[in-house]
Amino acid sequence: MNLFDYPNKEIWQKRRSWLDTELEQAEVGFSYPVSDHATALFMDMQTAYCSGAWISVVIMSVSVIDAHLRETEATDNKIRTAKLLTDFYEGDDIDWLRQLRNKYVHHNLDRPILKMNDWFNNQEQLELDATKAMKMTIKALFQDPGT
């Protein structure tokens, strides 16, 4: 596949099916608090995942989790993201996700994390990281089931 080619339909459907299964398994209650902002971002994140835009998925995951927890759990616009995630995310590795996202977003000239060829040469690791980020995001969206 070339850099800007669409993923073939079979790959898209496989990823979409995986997402549907993850979402179905996460839904254990009948109602959940919903952040409209997080939901809108999550819709775009799913498209990025199905497209194979792995770095975008990681970057978006923290934004989705942040928006969701800020609106439904913390109800606080002033709390810093690191504290919000630590205090309100129910699960492990949230600091790993935040730090990976920060490395992608905040370029460090002394210790660059990405080089142009990484996109070509590290697809497997990028996909693993994006899949983990997607699972963590789904967990956050469904961590507080209602009745």
Q: Per-residue pLDDT tens for 104-138?
A: 999 888 887 888 888 788 889 999 999 999 999 99
Please count the structural domains in the chain: 1
In this structure, is residue 99 part of a structural domain? yes
- The model's pLDDT over 67-80, given as tens digits with 9 standing for 90+, comes to 999 988 888 888 88
> Alpha-carbon distance 147 to 28, whole Å?
10
How far is 124 from 121, CA to CA, in rounded Å? 8
Does any domain span residue 146?
Answer: no
- Report the distance separating Cα 141 and Cα 130, nearest Å: 16
In a domain, 25, yes or no: no
26 close to 98: Cβ distance less than 8 angstroms = no
Parent domain of 68: 34-141
Residue 69 near residue 81 (C-beta atoms within 8 A): no
Q: Is residue 9 part of a domain?
A: no
User: What pLDDT band is residue 63 in, cutting at 50, 70 and 90?
Assistant: very high
Yes or no: say if 85 and 95 are a contact pair by the CB < 8 Å rule.
yes
CB 136 within 8 A of CB 49: no
Give a yes or no: residue 79 inside a domain. yes
Residue 104 falls inside a structural domain: yes
Residue 111 lies in a domain: yes
Residue 78 located in a structural domain: yes
